[in-house]
Amino acid sequence: MNDASLTSGIATARALDGGSGAADLDATHRTHVGMVCFLCSEAAFFGTLIVAYLTYLGASKSGPTPAEVLSLPLVIAGTAALVASSVTVHLAHAALRAGRAGTFRTWLAATIILGALFLVGTAVEWHELIFEHGLTISRNLFGTTYFTLVGFHGLHVTVGLLLLTLMFCLSLPGFVSQRHSDGFDVISWYWHFVDSVWIVVFAVVYVFGR
Amino acid sequence: MAVWESSAADISPPAVAHAPSWATTVDHKQIGILYIVTSLVFLAVGGLEALVIRAQLWKPDSHLVGPEVFNQMFTMHGTTMIFFVVMPMLFGFGNYLVPLMIGARDMAFPRLNAFSYWMFAFGGAVTYLSFLAGGAPDVGWFAYAPLTEYAFSRGTSTDYWILGILISGIGTLATAVNLVTTILTMRAPGMSLGKVPLFVWMMMFDGILLIFALPPVTAAIIMLLLDRSLGAHFFDTQAGGSAILWQHLFWFFGHPEVYVMALPAFGIISEVVPVFSRKVIFGYESVAAATVAIGVLSMGVWAHHMFTVGMSDALDAIFSGASFLIAVPTGIKMFNWIATIYGGKLVLASPMLFALGFLAMFLIGGLTGIMLAAVPIDWQVSDTYFVVGHFHYVLFGGSLFAIMAAFYYWFPKATGRMMDERLARWQFWLMLAGFNLTFFPMHIAGLLGMPRRIYTYSADRGWTIWNQLSTVGAAMLAVCFAVFFWNLFDSVRRGAPAGDDPWDAWTLEWATTSPPAPYNFEQIPLVRSRRPLWDLKHPEDPDWEHES
């Protein structure tokens, strides 16, 4: 390969073009696009689970039914915590962008606590369902679809909490600073996404499906 | 011009010298080659399984292999060819070529890329380990529930199928995300989306299709796994579950999957045909737009696999209509390729031969596809060998012919050596004859009523001669692939030096050395038209003066 002549050709082309028209985008942008693609696939995944849930709504041959066993007060409290965590993660993100590391840590910790509260709520609910009402994944179709849908959402919350906790631990010795705010974007997007999925799940399972 | 000359001296053996680095590589070119080599191994295995099927069907009342083994063979053949041969092979080419074609140094996420490959290899290995664990999957590549429920499919073979597909599916999704991100964010300066090579366009829509079509089947497979291992009831009809839901979810993935395997093939053809016709592709915009149309439409036709399960007439009609519509953008592409060939100065080198083979064979597959989209015909021939003949014309006559064109076209780039042209011609004619001899009689056997997946038949059905023709054709195909494998093996070692741009092509991958350096380009090129190398070679009449 005669690189010299290629390079000179490129140089000619560049000169003709005036050097403009660069389409290459930086690494931050890359992570953002990748995350959007990933979240689209996640939406398709949860969409399928929700379709399955709706398909089998009321199709169980035996009880218990959703109306008999789902307790609203607990899940409303959990939902409130999760929705609030979307606000706190946003505040954490804004603080990081503004370079206020202390504020960032505070809101991040609040987010983690709120997310953990949601999971605790789910655990209490599941304990009740399984040990008081005898609803398991193999009991009937409601149990099958309920535990699959809510379980996969809980798994996603858990993954999000691990990511947030990792960020928190890294921020303690000062490893997270203003210039990581673009990277923190994708984690907060993921968290917002998991919250939005929950709002749909809440509507389908506890409002519409009850 | 001096740019395009090259000497044999600087060709280094690509595979042998750096063996240890292959296990740890994150370079898109090495990962691409790993994909391709691994899927070639699976191609040999899947081919042998096909030969067992054809040998068993050679004569009526044959007992060469029992029904259990026969079921395992057609299940593993289908699973292997779709998940572990055609898709990863195309991803291999995509991995290798996309960054080179868009003037990037690597994929957007190189480590994720390596992860994808290893998940694919691991998923394939898991599926095949079932042979050591009491028997291979025997439920068909579509794994219809409730046949796959624990009540009807005891033992672990179906679990191996589920886990193998699940694992390789994760890798596939990661590749899809990686490809879309790479193409959207890493293009060379000046290369707008309207200037990328059509192969890149197709790979981008391939990725987008997978991002939306793969998760539903992943969810369905997880549901099946929960049914089998935790006693859930998704597809358990005794507890109110639905056998049809599996079909909906599976084909919601399964039909776009056909286009996942076809679009990169269209991309390959859209690169090969112009270069060997010495003309610009006819109607670049309409080829790209047709890709988008195919991608969108393919998501809405899945239930044409289910005309016989008893959906309503209205649904049948809707899905039938949508399936007919797909013929329009596909037809547009056919016209574009033919219009590119028309009046061109054809160079009938091996890549072009296989591309022409693709055009003819894929056309036949497309036409029988339109027949099957008509509900009354589908009711007659559903689950017969007519369908088997049809989809082999699409996937073998389509995707695999295009893959062969890709091998002969880009082998010089990856290795710095040419493949043997005489062996290529032998392979092409053996493949064309063997392919038609194998799969055309299947249409007739199907029309005579021969069902799919039966392991033997009685002599009075009149199917014997058609099956024997198919089996002879399959033997010819075996010889053809032996020639191909020998050609690959031999050309890597002793092929004639290729130089950087042996075909006098126009896209950026030919602007760098053969094989390219790890960083691809010493200087990221600046792009002003769809044929950047034409502009460099012909500064007196560059394309960008004619393109708007």
The separation between CA B483 and the C-alpha centre of its own chain, rounded to angstroms, equals 21
pLDDT at B160: 96
Cα–Cα distance, B189 to A5 (Å, whole number):
19
Query: Token pair for residue B195?
Result: 């200037």
pLDDT at A26: 61
Measured between beta carbons, which residues in chain B are less than 8 angstroms from residue A151? none
Q: pLDDT band at residue A48, thresholds of 50, 70 and 90?
A: very high
Contact B212, A40 (CB under 8 A): yes
pLDDT at A137 over 70: yes
**What per-residue confidence (pLDDT) applies to A19?**
37
- Which residue of chain B is at minimal alpha-carbon distance from A34? B181
- A41 → closest Cβ in B189, B215, B511: B215
**Cα–Cα dist B177/B113, whole Å:** 10
How many cross-chain Cβ pairs, A to B, lie less than 8 Å apart? 155
The answer to whether A34 contacts B109, with C-beta atoms less than 8 Å apart, is yes
Please tell me the distance from the alpha carbon of residue B490 to that of residue A60, in angstroms, as a whole number.
63
* Chain B (137-196) residues lying within 8 Å, Cβ to Cβ, of chain A: 173, 176-178, 180-181, 184-192
CB contact under 8 A, B526 and A23: no
Judge: A52–B245 Cβ closer than 8 Å, yes or no.
Answer: yes
- The verdict on B528 touching A (C-beta cutoff 8 Å) is yes
Q: Could B207 and A145 be called an inter-chain contact, meaning their C-beta atoms sit closer than 8 Å?
A: no
Residue B244 touches chain A, beta carbons under 8 Å: no
Looking at the predicted structure, is the pLDDT value of residue A6 above 90? Answer: no
Q: What is the pLDDT of residues B131-146, one digit of tens each?
A: 999 889 999 999 999 9
Q: Tell me which residues of chain B, numbers 25 to 54, contact chain A at a CB-CB cutoff of 8 Å.
A: none
Fill in the DSSP letter of residue B497. Answer: B
User: What percent of chain A has a predicted confidence (pLDDT) above 90?
Assistant: 77
Please compute the mean of the pLDDT values over residues A131-142 and round it to a whole number. Answer: 95
Which of A6, A16, A40 is closest, CB to CB, to B212? A40
Q: What number of other Cβ atoms are within 10 A of residue B144's Cβ? A: 14
Nearest Cα residue in chain B from A146: B232
- For the stretch A4-8, contacts whose Cβ atoms lie closer than 8 Å and that sit 24 or more positions apart, written own/partner, are A5/B1, A5/B2, A5/B3, A6/B3, A6/B511, A6/B525, A6/B536, A7/B522, A7/B523
- Of A13-22, A127-136, B396-405, the poorest mean pLDDT is in A13-22
pTM of the model: 0.92
Tell me if B500 sits within 8 A of B4, measured CB to CB.
Answer: yes
Say what the pLDDT of residue A12 is: 41
- pLDDT by residue for chain B (548 residues), tens only, comes to 334 334 444 555 555 555 668 888 999 999 999 999 999 999 999 999 999 999 999 999 999 999 999 999 999 999 999 999 999 999 999 999 999 999 999 999 999 999 999 999 999 999 999 999 988 999 999 999 999 999 999 999 999 999 999 999 999 999 999 999 999 999 999 999 999 999 999 999 999 999 999 999 999 999 999 999 999 999 999 999 999 999 999 999 999 999 999 999 999 999 999 999 999 999 999 999 999 999 999 999 999 999 999 889 999 999 999 999 999 999 999 999 999 999 999 999 999 999 999 999 999 999 999 999 999 999 999 999 999 999 999 999 999 999 999 999 999 999 999 999 999 999 999 999 999 999 999 999 999 999 999 999 999 999 999 999 999 999 999 999 999 999 999 999 999 999 999 999 999 999 999 999 989 998 888 898 999 999 989 989 888 888 76
Nearest Cα to B4, choosing from B543, B536, B539, B541? B536
Q: Does the beta-carbon distance from B180 to A13 stay under 8 Å?
A: no
For residue B389, the SS3 value is helix
| B118 interfaces chain A, CB cutoff of 8 Å | no
Q: Do A140 and B191 touch (CB under 8 A)?
A: no
Of B5, B108, B528, the CB nearest to A17: B528
Q: Which of A29, A30, A37, A38 to mutate to probe the B interface, most B CBs <10 Å?
A: A37
